[in-house]
Structure 1
Amino acid sequence: MKISTYFDPALRQRMNDDMNVRKLSAKTQIGYIRAINRLCEYLHHSPTTITREELRQFQLYLVNDGATGATINGIIAGLRFLYQITLDNTHVVSKLHTIPIARNLPVVLNLDEAKRFLAAAVHPKYNAAFSVAYGAGLRVSEVVSLKVSDVDSERMALRVEQGKGGRDRYAKLSPALLEHLRNWWCFANKHGQMYREGWLFPGLDPINHMSARQLSRICVETAKQAGIDKKISMHTLRHYVPFLTMSCRATISWFYWQTSKVVTT
Structure 2
Amino acid sequence: MNIQRSKNITPLRARMIADMTARNLGPASQVGHLRACKRFAAWLERSPETAEPDDVRDFQQHLIETGTSICTRNRTMTGVKFLFRVTLRRHDLVAEIFSLKEPVKIPLVLSRNEVKRILLMAPSLKARVMLSLAYGCGMRAGEVVRLRVGDIDGEQEIIRIVQSKGRKDRNVMLPGDILGLLRDWWKERPSSQDNGVAGPDRVIFPGYNGKHLSPRQISRLFKQAAKAAAITKPVTLHTLRHSFATHLLERGVDIRVIQALLGHTKLTTTARYASVATGMISAVESPLDNLGQTKRKKSKKGAP
TM-score range, shorter chain: 0.7 to 0.9
Q: Which has the higher helix share?
A: 2
Match of residue 219 from structure 2: 216
Distance in 1, matches of 2:129 and 2:87, equals 43
Contact 1:146 1:201 in 2 (8 A): yes
Q: Partner letter of residue 200 of structure 1?
A: I
Match of residue 19 from structure 2: 18
SS of equivalent to 2:136:
helix
Match of residue 103 from structure 2: 102
SS of equivalent to 1:154:
coil
Q: Partner letter of residue 199 of structure 1?
A: V
Distance in 1, matches of 2:189 and 2:169, equals 27
Following TM superposition, the consecutive aligned residue runs of length 4 or more in structure 1 with deviations greater than 6 angstroms are 245-248
Deviations 1:207-259 (A, max 9, x none): 111111222222222211211001111211111224338999xxxxxxxxx8x
- State how many pairs are aligned: 247
Match of residue 206 from structure 2: 202
SS of equivalent to 2:247:
coil
- After TM superposition, the score normalised by the length of structure 2 is 0.75
Q: In the alignment, which of 232, 247, 258 is matched to residue 229 of structure 1?
A: 232
Distance in 1, matches of 2:111 and 2:162, equals 30
Distance in 2, matches of 1:110 and 1:193, equals 37
CA distance change for structure 1 residues 206 and 219 in 2, over 3 Å: closer, same or farther?
Answer: farther
Residue 158 in structure 1 maps to residue 159 in structure 2: yes
Q: Partner letter of residue 239 of structure 1?
A: H
Distance in 2, matches of 1:78 and 1:247, equals 39
- Whose radius of gyration is greater, 1 or 2? 2
Distance in 2, matches of 1:135 and 1:218, equals 17
Match of residue 256 from structure 2: none
Match of residue 289 from structure 2: none
SS of equivalent to 2:78:
helix
Unaligned runs of 5+ residues in structure 2 are 252-260, 262-278, 284-304
Distance in 1, matches of 2:118 and 2:226, equals 6
Contact 2:193 2:206 in 1 (8 A): yes
Match of residue 241 from structure 2: 238
Distance in 2, matches of 1:223 and 1:35, equals 34
Residue 111 in structure 1 maps to residue 112 in structure 2: yes
Match of residue 271 from structure 2: none
Match of residue 180 from structure 1: 181
Contact 2:206 2:212 in 1 (8 A): yes
Match of residue 47 from structure 1: 48
Q: Percent identity?
A: 35
